[in-house]
Amino acid sequence: MKDQLSSYVDLHKNEILSQLSKFVAIPSESGNPKELSAAIDFVLILSEILGLSAQAYCQNQVIVIEMGSGDETLGILSHLDVVPAGDLDLWDTPPYEAVIKDGKIFGRGTLDDKGMIIASLYAMKAVSNLGLPLHKRVQLIIGTQEEVEWTDMDSYVANYPLPDYGFSPDGEYPICNIEKGCIDYALELDTDDNPEGLHLVSIKCGVMQNAVPDMA
């Protein structure tokens, strides 16, 4: 089975890279409704081309691509939104262009998480085309607000059943099944006893709280 899947991927390598390049070219930042909509349309159309059942939910905030059948469901959890590119002068390659260099693909979302969406779609297509047995229903659940407030998942969880099992191909791990969490905190300094009369006016660091800052 593993050899069959590997052969399928090798055979469709150029197609996979081409679709990823088109996907990366969409600057689907979490706060940009127009580009998020374009990314959603891209995924829905590609799913249809691949012969997979896809539907948008929660006012177009969540896409579910489904295959297989069974009493239990395996969920693949992903997202198509990205954090802002920041200072473009600090990029070695254009952020919204998939560039292959030194055997790696560079571009915003190639690792988190557009590359994984393309990989998951073609994995589902490979299993379907090769007629490999499935004993569970498989759902690729794609959100659009993972990089910000997760309003997409809040709405989805409140209105639709969750998979029995799930993992996220988000990053180079190659999968995550748990995260330790995040923390936001406020920093307060007492300047009343400062003999120089100096006061902290502001701190500027990056563009998103969940991204490594390009400057501070």
> How far apart, in Å, do the first and last CA atoms of the chain sit?
50
Q: Cα 110–5–168 angle (5° rounding)?
A: 40
Asked if residues 75 and 63 have their Cβ atoms less than 8 Å apart, the reply is: no
The helix-helix angle for 33-49 and 13-24 (nearest 10°) equals: 160
Is 48 considered catalytic here? no
Torsions phi, psi for 65 (to 5 deg) = -105, 130
Instruction: Provide the 10 A C-beta neighbour count for residue 132.
Output: 11
Q: Cα 141–145–146 angle (5° rounding)?
A: 75
Is 81 considered catalytic here? yes
Reported in sequence order, the residue ranges of 11-146 that DSSP labels E, i.e. its strands, are 53-57, 62-67, 73-79, 99-101, 104-106, 137-143
Q: If 0-12 CB within 10 Å is exposed, 13-18 middle and 19+ buried, where does residue 186 land?
A: exposed
Asked if residues 144 and 152 have their Cβ atoms less than 8 Å apart, the reply is: yes
Q: Which one of the listed residues 29, 81, 113, 147 is annotated catalytic?
A: 81
State both tokens at 10.
């090798």
Q: Which one of the listed residues 35, 112, 113, 146 is annotated catalytic?
A: 146
Active site residues: 81, 146
